[in-house]
Chain A
């Protein structure tokens, strides 16, 4: 991978890193020795057969209290009404929340729905998921294929694509808001090219498109890395054999690369789908759902019903989140089944 370093340059000298390593080593000794006293005592009392319960306990406790229990509690919220926060004070309303969410004159026109904001969020999210995931996978795949070629400085380019992944959603949103604002860089370039300014963040269609584009910009590095690893795990002998048999580049791509990359593609699709359905923070700082409700998505609906609006309608928020969870589970199961079939 890397260029060869002349031996003379590799000088064995104790660096700050070595010292830090040694210090960490002694800290780790303490980490082992101190609890060992307690755990050994425990082991003597309950016997080593029961020790695994002790090891699982901390994780299970936090998981149970902060993940599993709230998931069950979500059902309580979804089937009760009113604006009270504490479940014991909330009146049972049965399916009323779901009825309010799902009651529509015509499902294709959100303004005929009782909870039209929810349906706008549903359609916006559906459009976003389809557009973002397909573009994301296309761009990541092309980039991974390019990075998989015999190129110089592959590590550098890999990092270039990965860097935005590390940026926080708020930073990503502000970087692009700054470029796309009315007097921003992109409009400056347009003017220089003799074009008129475009109100990117004011026009609903442009705002939707840019939400897709900047989230692809921000996340593609991650999926590129995974796809690249998938490409590199394909044995080179297969390509050599195909070449000897007289296969063209296109043929070996279609007959070797694509089929062998399918498992990785599946992972990437599931991950990006789950993530896309949950889109929130980038958009929250980028357009705050606007202009109007053009980029108002499902999680923002849940957030605004439960936390942001003056009258907190927790029942609707919980109901909407259950519907969203159902969609996520269906999506994941469908992907898993598809993957099974191909094997």
Chain B
């Protein structure tokens, strides 16, 4: 304990703990609760039984009533602690409940029915992280299908974005050609006009192309993102032209200059665009919502939204499916968090 305290109170550079350091750590600990708490609460709740989920006031941990198999009864019977009139406590299993009276038996002596007032019994509970909600939820929530669609969309859209954006950025940064500035200007001017603004006409174009209810309709349109071209172009401008001239003298084709000289040097910018693209595509909602209307084509986000919108779907199932939906990106983040946060921080300035 003392060690923990000295560890926590140690500061870098300064020897004494200042009041502002205390405030800093107070702020940070509170933030951990606010940022992680809701997610933790969701995960804990997802293991609760349907009855426990609707219980108010809610309890932190997923308690579940213990049951016991008793010969002569098909179903396992719920266990209760019953306080007798003399104050002693026994564990009894409940057979059925009639009004204010419960008919109970002693598991050791299952033949004699004991009648107990329900006020005298208390359920015997333990903490169980059961997967029932997950199994039941997946009967109507096609997690595997949605996951596959989301992965297909995210991976292929990101690869396509990286390819065509970097090719365009290469041309716009390393060549002089007629119309270059016009192309760049038109692209940049659409940076601030979001896709939600042109919803209706894009839907028409998709329909005309025949990509309605086709994953291609989700993948392709967003791939030519002006943001990506801009980001890569700015980075490629810093790559010295001498390298390219040298490669050209060595007889490299323009494609080889792009693929073997410029792309490897632009890796930091490509990494950042990859992060952005994966984030955009994985979490995209409005776009796939419009293009896809068949359940077997839904991405995770659209699937989850339609699942929560269905009537008679209960919270315990929604909670479990929400946890499933956020699981993949959480795992990726757990492994790559340092790269992701530093990557975004370094381009934020540009």
For the complex, what is the distance from the CA of A328 to the CA of B189, rounded to whole Å?
A: 12
Give the interface segment out of A5-13, A106-114, A182-190, A204-212: A182-190
With A162-B337, A169-B285, A274-B194: A150-B27 Cβ-Cβ less than 8 Å: no
| Shortest CB distance A43–B (Å) | 6
In the complex, which range does the number of interface residues on chain A fall in?
Answer: 35 or more
For the complex, what is the distance from the CA of A53 to the CA of B34, rounded to whole Å?
A: 51
Q: Say yes or no: A58 contacts B38, CB within 8 Å.
A: no
With A175-B42, A328-B194: A166-B170 Cβ-Cβ less than 8 Å: no
A241 interface hit (Cβ, 8 Å): no
Give the interface segment out of B78-86, B92-100, B137-145, B180-188: B180-188
Q: Say yes or no: A63 contacts B193, CB within 8 Å.
A: no
Which of A143, A158, A170, A185 has the most chain B CB atoms closer than 10 A to its own CB?
Answer: A170
For the complex, what is the distance from the CA of A182 to the CA of B345, rounded to whole Å?
A: 39
Q: Say yes or no: A168 contacts B180, CB within 8 Å.
A: no
Number of chain B residues whose Cβ lies closer than 8 Å to a Cβ of chain A: 103
Contact flags B169-213 to A (C-beta < 8 A → 1, else 0): 011101101001001001100101111111111111101010000
Q: Say yes or no: B282 contacts A168, CB within 8 Å.
A: yes
Which of B20, B163, B194 has the most chain A CB atoms closer than 10 A to its own CB?
Answer: B194
Of chain B, the residue at the smallest CB distance from A285 is B305
Point out the residue from A85, A159, A185, A267 that lies within 8 Å of B348, measured CB to CB.
A267
B259 interface hit (Cβ, 8 Å): yes
* Residues 194 to 234 of chain B near chain A (Cβ within 8 Å): 194-205, 207, 209, 220-224, 226, 229
Contact flags A158-174 to B (C-beta < 8 A → 1, else 0): 11111111111111001
Point out the residue from B14, B180, B304 that lies within 8 Å of A170, measured CB to CB.
B304
Point out the residue from A152, A183, A229 that lies within 8 Å of B349, measured CB to CB.
A229
Point out the residue from B25, B204, B221, B301 that lies within 8 Å of A67, measured CB to CB.
B221
* Residues 32 to 62 of chain A near chain B (Cβ within 8 Å): 32, 35-36, 39-40, 43, 48-53, 55-56, 58-62
| Shortest CB distance B202–A (Å) | 4
| Shortest CB distance B57–A (Å) | 4
Q: Say yes or no: B308 contacts A174, CB within 8 Å.
A: yes
For the complex, what is the distance from the CA of A276 to the CA of B38, rounded to whole Å?
A: 23
With contacts defined as CB atoms under 8 Å apart, how many contacts are there between chain A and chain B in the complex? 299
Q: Say yes or no: A302 contacts B164, CB within 8 Å.
A: no
A281 interface hit (Cβ, 8 Å): yes
For the complex, what is the distance from the CA of A71 to the CA of B322, rounded to whole Å?
A: 35
A318 interface hit (Cβ, 8 Å): yes
Residues of A within 8 A of B341 (CB): 155, 158-159, 162, 225
| Shortest CB distance A314–B (Å) | 5
Residues of A within 8 A of B207 (CB): 85
B10 interface hit (Cβ, 8 Å): yes
A149 interface hit (Cβ, 8 Å): yes
A321 interface hit (Cβ, 8 Å): yes
* Residues 82 to 119 of chain A near chain B (Cβ within 8 Å): 85-87
With A56-B168, A70-B202, A174-B304: A280-B196 Cβ-Cβ less than 8 Å: yes
B89 interface hit (Cβ, 8 Å): no
For the complex, what is the distance from the CA of A284 to the CA of B54, rounded to whole Å?
A: 24
| Shortest CB distance B267–A (Å) | 12
Q: Say yes or no: B204 contacts A285, CB within 8 Å.
A: no
Q: Say yes or no: B345 contacts A40, CB within 8 Å.
A: no
Q: Say yes or no: A52 contacts B177, CB within 8 Å.
A: yes
Contact flags B124-135 to A (C-beta < 8 A → 1, else 0): 000000000000
B340 interface hit (Cβ, 8 Å): yes
Contact flags A22-40 to B (C-beta < 8 A → 1, else 0): 0000000001100110011
| Shortest CB distance B324–A (Å) | 10
Residues of A within 8 A of B325 (CB): 168, 170-171
A299 interface hit (Cβ, 8 Å): yes
Of chain B, the residue at the smallest CB distance from A78 is B200
Residues of A within 8 A of B254 (CB): 39, 43, 48, 51, 55
Of chain A, the residue at the smallest CB distance from B163 is A58
A329 interface hit (Cβ, 8 Å): yes
Residues of B within 8 A of A278 (CB): 194, 196
With A285-B305, A328-B194: A163-B35 Cβ-Cβ less than 8 Å: yes
Q: Say yes or no: A67 contacts B199, CB within 8 Å.
A: no
B344 interface hit (Cβ, 8 Å): yes
A200 interface hit (Cβ, 8 Å): no
Of chain A, the residue at the smallest CB distance from B191 is A332
For the complex, what is the distance from the CA of A321 to the CA of B195, rounded to whole Å?
A: 10
Of chain B, the residue at the smallest CB distance from A183 is B56
Of chain A, the residue at the smallest CB distance from B14 is A150
A128 interface hit (Cβ, 8 Å): no
The 20 sampled A-B contact pairs (Cβ below 8 Å) are A32-B255, A32-B260, A43-B255, A52-B172, A67-B221, A67-B226, A71-B193, A74-B197, A149-B20, A162-B337, A175-B39, A179-B38, A183-B58, A225-B344, A267-B348, A274-B192, A299-B286, A303-B286, A306-B200, A317-B199
**Interface of B toward A, CB cutoff 8 Å:** 7-8, 10-14, 20-21, 24-25, 27-28, 31-32, 34-36, 38-39, 41-42, 45, 54-58, 163-165, 167-168, 170-172, 174-175, 177, 180, 183, 186-187, 190, 192-205, 207, 209, 220-224, 226, 229, 253-256, 258-260, 279, 282-283, 285-286, 290, 300-301, 304-305, 308, 315, 318-319, 322, 325-326, 329-330, 333, 337-338, 340-341, 344-346, 348-349
**Known interface pairs A62-B220, A162-B337; 9 further A-B residue pairs with C-beta atoms within 8 A, sorted by A's residue number:** A58-B164, A59-B165, A67-B198, A85-B207, A151-B25, A163-B35, A163-B330, A183-B56, A230-B349
